[in-house]
């Protein structure tokens, strides 16, 4: 459901790894890079064992950037959060297939009714069979390559097969959803993800730890591009 059969590669810095004492300046720093999306991790302390931030923070930084705001709802009850985040400025909202097929179907309908794009996220232990029934309604698929909840974790190599499966289904079904990866994405893992079929790379710690964020984003983009060419 993206604009082209072969989506352009996108680097999406994750705000969870930013310096929270200067969020405005950090968003402006992302604006000066070639990144097309800003990824926002929303954690409720129930679905995952951590708490991040809510709609008020998204609303506060929305006027500072024209980037696509990619909101990742790692929440036990995302239904009550969809409208607040839509009003706060989310462009795309990712929900987890672990919530169950019936719930996911209802959430997809609600996200669409709010005029937003639909992202479907899946955790490392979850079978890809939970994802397949919803693919025709998805604008993007988000393959978690760590167990969600905390930044800075090590990439789970076994998740590469999930990326390959998502890419194979996209071709077989003639769909256009983006394939994103999130967790442990850095210079040494982005190429293998791109080679497996990913086109959207969410990276937090590996990008924000650099003083020269623009150069870091550019390097990651080039590494992904080179892997696709190969």
Residue numbers annotated as active site: 41, 182
Query: Cβ(164)–Cβ(170) under 8 Å?
Result: no
Determine how many CB atoms are found less than 10 A away from the CB of residue 130: 18
Number of other CB atoms surrounding residue 195 within 10 Å: 17
Q: What letter would DSSP give residue 75?
A: -
Residues ≥6 apart with Cβ < 8 Å to 70: 12, 37, 38, 39, 40, 91, 92, 94, 119, 202
| Cα Rg of the chain, angstroms | 16
Tell me which residue has tokens 């405005």. Answer: 24
Question: What is the number of other CB atoms lying within 10 angstroms of the CB of residue 189?
Answer: 22
Token pair 């409720």 in the structure block, residue: 44
Cα–Cα dist 120/53, whole Å: 20
């Amino acid at each position: 459901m993206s604009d082209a059969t072969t989506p352009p590669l996108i680097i999406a810095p994750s705000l969870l790894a930013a310096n929270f004492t200067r969020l405005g300046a950090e968003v402006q720093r992302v604006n000066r890079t070639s990144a097309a999306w800003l990824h926002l991790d929303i954690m409720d302390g129930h679905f995952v064992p951590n708490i991040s931030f809510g709609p008020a923070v998204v609303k506060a930084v929305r006027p500072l950037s024209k980037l696509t705001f990619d909101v990742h709802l790692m929440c036990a009850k995302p239904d009550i959060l969809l409208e607040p985040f839509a009003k706060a400025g989310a462009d795309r909202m990712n929900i987890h297939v672990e919530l169950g097929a019936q719930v996911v179907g209802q959430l997809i309908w609600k996200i669409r009714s709010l005029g937003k794009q639909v992202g479907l996220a899946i955790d490392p232990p979850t079978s890809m069979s939970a994802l397949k029934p919803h693919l025709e309604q998805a604008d993007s698929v988000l393959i978690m390559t760590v167990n969600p909840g905390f930044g800075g974790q090590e990439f789970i190599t076994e998740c590469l097969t999930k990326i390959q499966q998502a890419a194979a289904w996209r071709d077989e079904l003639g769909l256009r959803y983006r394939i994103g990866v999130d967790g442990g994405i850095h210079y040494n893992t982005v190429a293998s993800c791109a080679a497996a079929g990913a086109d959207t790379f969410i990276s937090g710690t590996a990008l924000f730890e650099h003083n020269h964020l623009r150069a870091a984003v550019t390097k990651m983009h080039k590494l992904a591009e080179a892997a696709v060419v190969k």
